[in-house]
Amino acid sequence: MAIKAYKPTTPGRRGMTSQDFDAITTRKPLKSLVTIRKQNSGRNNAGRITTRHRGGGARRFYRIMNFRLAPGTTATVEHIEYDPGRSAHIARIKDSNDVYHYILATQGMKQGQTISVGDEAPIENGNRLALKNIPVGSVIHGIELQPGKGAQMVRSAGASAQLMAKEDGYAQIRMPSGEVRIVNVDCMASMGVVGNVQHQNIKIGKAGRNRRKGIRPTVRGVVMNAADHPHGGGDGGRHNMGRAPVTPWGQKTLGFKTRRRKSTNKLIVRSRHAAKRK
């Protein structure tokens, strides 16, 4: 995949880039594998805003993904498709029972390629195996956290993890963030790198493009009134915050730890924060 640039015919076009869709083989999704997904605009079931700056956006269907193909499945890639709900491209596959599925498309996946799942699957791009059957040093994605639960880790465009070691029924995996964590060797993972690797290099170019994605404008706290934000208020125009950065409700940010899942700390061999310091 390459990046498509535009001629600067307008200020919004200047510097704007997008993906060129060379890898996409069809424009229409399979009707039986899409469903309506209601836009909640960042609100919970009580109508309260839990995620700010969401709303509007272009209407889109949700593609029903299969993150836990049954062992023994053999399927053929029929199309590589665009998914508006995720950064990665998806692949439409048809198994031996003529049933269609959507899976994450790996880098280099082509039409007509055969995908295998199970202990006997060869070590090839796109195949899915248990971690105990994958050689140490392999690049993987779509990793399960619990056997049979389906892929939960490393699913975004261009992402990949590396299998570092296997010992005492657990595998050490280096995540894209640099974190090293252990996972049960019976968990499944897919071979290769998630496709659409140039996604991170796309430049939005203009505010309207973000609005079509359902992202509303964000106002800085320092330009608000003191009644609206702890950073706001003050005379004389521009000013410093005068305190450590906080949220509109006074919660510290920028380095303040909010992790509460202490029960999984034993599964983390090396923190991603320690990796960044080096």
Per-residue pLDDT tens over the stretch 161-210: 999 999 999 999 999 999 999 999 999 999 999 999 999 999 999 999 99
Judge whether 143 lies within some domain.
yes
Residue 242, pLDDT score: 83
pTM score of the predicted model: 0.90
Q: Which CATH number covers residue 242?
A: 4.10.950.10
Residues 85 and 156 in one domain: yes
Residues 229 and 124 in one domain: no
Q: Which CATH number covers residue 107?
A: 2.40.50.140
Give the chain's domain count.
2
Residues 109 and 241 in one domain: no
Question: Per-residue confidence at 2, pLDDT binned at 50, 70, 90?
Answer: confident
Judge whether 212 lies within some domain.
no
C-alpha to C-alpha distance for 132 and 185, rounded to whole angstroms: 5
Residues 239 and 161 in one domain: no
Residues 63 and 134 in one domain: yes
Backbone angles phi, psi at 63, to 5 degrees: -85, 130
> Where does residue 202 rank: exposed (0-12), middle (13-18), buried (19+ CB within 10 A)?
middle
Residues 19 and 78 in one domain: yes
The predicted-structure confidence for 70-117, as pLDDT tens digits, reads as follows 999 999 999 999 999 999 999 999 999 999 999 999 999 999 999 999
> Residues 6 or more apart from 120 whose CB is under 8 A from it?
none
Evaluate the CA torsion angle 11, 15, 18, 22 in order and state its sign.
positive
Count other Cβ atoms within 10 Å, centred on residue 87. 16
Judge whether 216 lies within some domain.
no
Judge whether 214 lies within some domain.
no
Q: Averaged over 24-31, what is the pLDDT? A: 95
Closest CA to 85 of 29, 123, 150: 29
Owner of token pair 């303040």: 256
Judge whether 208 lies within some domain.
no
Amino acid at 187: C
Residues 140 and 233 in one domain: no
Q: Averaged over 224-239, what is the pLDDT? A: 88
Residue 234 has pLDDT above 90, yes or no: no
Q: Averaged over 45-63, what is the pLDDT? A: 95
Judge whether 211 lies within some domain.
no
Residues 154 and 232 in one domain: no
Beta pairing class for 268-270 and 188-191: unpaired
Domain hosting 121: range is: 3-200
Distance between alpha carbon 154 and the CA centroid of its chain, in Å? 7
Mean pLDDT over each residue of the chain, to the nearest integer: 93
Residues 151 and 238 in one domain: no
Judge whether 206 lies within some domain.
no
Q: What is the three-class DSSP state of 166? A: strand
Residues 42 and 160 in one domain: yes
